[in-house]
Structure 1
Amino acid sequence: MKTFISTLLLFASICIFAQPETEVYLLDLERSGNDFKLKNAINISANPGYDNQPAFWPDGKSMIYSRTVKDQTEIARYFLGSDKTEIITNTLQGSEYSPTPTPGGKISSIRLDTTGLQLLYSYNLKGQSKVLVNDLVIGYHAWINKEDIVAFVLGDTSTMQIINTKKGTAKIVAKNIGRSLHKIPGSEGFSYVDKSVNPWMIKSMHPKSLKTQSLIATLEGSEDYCWTPNGFIIMGSGSKLYLWKRSGDWKEIADLTSEGISRITRITVSPDGTKLAIAAE
């Protein structure tokens, strides 16, 4: 048993401390006809360590992200326009990752405990938590509706599963996927990256019929993207951001090299489409 616990602790330490040094940036996203411009980049985390996985609150007035606090990550909330940041959690036994607003006004987040236990929790805005899914090791997730999530589930073979958080049921619907999962605006469906094909493909899936549709091949080596409210996709590659419109191809809309950014990962757009947040090295 001691050997088992030591192995888990080692695994947890590797997961926590092997994270890259990243920052969260906020930019203005402006549209003029068919053209998009990004400007006024602000480093809203400005903090040593792993600051990542931003997500806008539904009202667009704040955003949440994982922020390094005393050698572990907590859920932080940044208020647009005020430059105020509050730390929501203070989890002594573990770190929070991938904080995501829930349809019910709370936060769902992956918690990796120092024992190696990794579960999806629900948090209120005071940081009080309870287990949301107690029998699956979830790496990434997105809400499809008020009860269902689509999740990247770790195991001997990683799978994509649709999980009903009320009934506790789960269904495997794909394998060999990427980490970027999203509800598609104006649709019941969601999107994911299929890594079983070459090149990797962004696909959509309907949660009931499980019907899939290929949308666009990813930029080479990239898997992080997001949807704009009007149904476009923005994806990062190195220091650049690209836009995809249906029936079109990728079009470069920004190069953030001048901001000291070399590698863009997580991307999200505000509900009104006027702000974009990224995590980047």
Structure 2
Amino acid sequence: MKYQLSVLFMLCFFCLNAQSNTEVYLCNLESVYGGIDIFNIQNISNDPGYDSQPSFSDNNTVLFAGNHNGQTDIAQYSISEKSKTWFHLPTDGGEYSPTHIPNGKNNVAAVRLDPDGLQRLYYYKKDSPNSSEVIEGLQVAYFAYYDDQTLLASVLGGEDLDLVLCNLKTKTVDTLLTNSGRSIHKVLGSKSMSYTIINKEKNEDLYLFDVDSGESFFVCQLPIGVQDYTWLNSSQILIGSGSKIYMYDTFLSSEWKLVADLSGAGFKNISRMAVSPDEKKIALVAEPVQK
């Protein structure tokens, strides 16, 4: 019964998101005193329907879940060539949260939701119809790699999500806690990872996780209603709210500070974001403003 509820939960989640008309925008990013400067904003998905969940393979390539003739597939955008292509040949299911595998050459991992409700994390190769499960039977919802042998993931655990640490070499899975959130990251320039927990007030608390020791450390609470964040570097965190971006500095501040107002950029409701390894580009997801 729990499995059936979990499948229904994730089907409803992805269907609701798929109805959103979101786009992926790529911007230049510069750190300035006390904040950031965002400019040269480009719509790189440019397609009606659900386009979301960006990540950088490298400083020149953005992956995201993109609307492809009504199905969600892995899109790949080349910054130097200014072109969007589809990473893999179509499958029966929809692919979400595409992420480059560390030390995996051009291979990508993504969550696939099949028409029958089966949900798993798969490996994909460029221009190939073939895929293989990362860990057989594990119902992954969200994930991030620590290295090519270790990943942190939120998995279906009944009506809520459980946070698990996966050893890909031994194929073992350790459950760390319950009621985890959807935003999991490897901290840029660090050996730590981060995750969120839904607290008693239904807001999300952000924690650092030391993979070597297995210890977690509270960082801050995300603003009310915010589920997504990204790391600008090893100490500064960015979130979107409306058409604005806020920063939390783990060394200098205990409050979220407004660092960019993109009200004139033609979009609203910023959600997911990703920063390039060299910290010179930012990809963000938002809803275009109808003119």
Q: Tell me if both proteins adopt one fold, taking TM over 0.5 as the criterion.
A: yes
Tell whether 2:22 aligns with 1:18. Answer: no
The residue aligned with 1:176 is 179
- The 1:88–1:36 alpha-carbon spacing in structure 2 relative to 1, beyond 3 Å, is same
The residue aligned with 2:73 is 74
Higher alpha-carbon deviation: 148-157 or 119-128: 119-128
Contact 2:7 2:117 in 1 (8 A): yes
Q: What amino acid does structure 1 have at the position aligned with 2:45?
A: S
Q: CA deviation at 1:238?
A: 1.8
Cα RMSD after superposing both structures = 2.3
Residue number among 251, 259, 264 corresponding to 1:253 in the alignment: 259
CA deviation string 1:68-124 (max 9, x = no partner)? 112111101001032111111233311100001111232110011111111000112
Q: What amino acid does structure 1 have at the position aligned with 2:43?
A: N
Aligned-residue sequence identity (percent) comes to 33
Contact 1:8 1:116 in 2 (8 A): no
The residue aligned with 1:192 is 195
Q: What amino acid does structure 2 have at the position aligned with 1:200?
A: E
Q: Show structure 2 runs of 5+ residues with no match.
A: none
Q: What amino acid does structure 2 have at the position aligned with 1:243?
A: M
Residue number among 143, 150, 153 corresponding to 2:152 in the alignment: 150
CA deviation string 1:117-147 (max 9, x = no partner)? 1100011222442111211111000001220
Q: What amino acid does structure 2 have at the position aligned with 1:91?
A: P
- The 1:213–1:84 alpha-carbon spacing in structure 2 relative to 1, beyond 3 Å, is same
Mapped to 2, the partners of 1:176 and 1:210 lie a distance apart of: 18
The residue aligned with 1:163 is 166
Mapped to 2, the partners of 1:10 and 1:145 lie a distance apart of: 31
The residue aligned with 2:119 is 118
Mapped to 1, the partners of 2:35 and 2:14 lie a distance apart of: 40
User: TM-score under structure 2 normalisation?
Assistant: 0.88
Contact 1:12 1:114 in 2 (8 A): no
Tell whether 2:200 aligns with 1:201. Answer: no
Q: What amino acid does structure 2 have at the position aligned with 1:76?
A: A
The residue aligned with 2:34 is 34
Mapped to 1, the partners of 2:139 and 2:98 lie a distance apart of: 16
CA deviation string 1:164-185 (max 9, x = no partner)? 1221100011111210001123
Q: What amino acid does structure 2 have at the position aligned with 1:245?
A: D
Q: CA deviation at 1:10?
A: 8.2
Residues paired across the two proteins, number: 276
Tell whether 2:61 aligns with 1:55. Answer: no
Q: Show structure 1 runs of 5+ residues with no match.
A: none
Query: What SS does the aligned partner of 2:182 have?
Result: coil
Mapped to 1, the partners of 2:185 and 2:10 lie a distance apart of: 27
- The 1:27–1:115 alpha-carbon spacing in structure 2 relative to 1, beyond 3 Å, is same
CA deviation string 1:181-207 (max 9, x = no partner)? 011233322111121254532111112
Instruction: Detail structure 1 runs of 4+ shifted over 3 Å in the superposition.
Output: 7-17
Structure 1 residues 257-268: aligned runs within 5 Å: 257-268=263-274
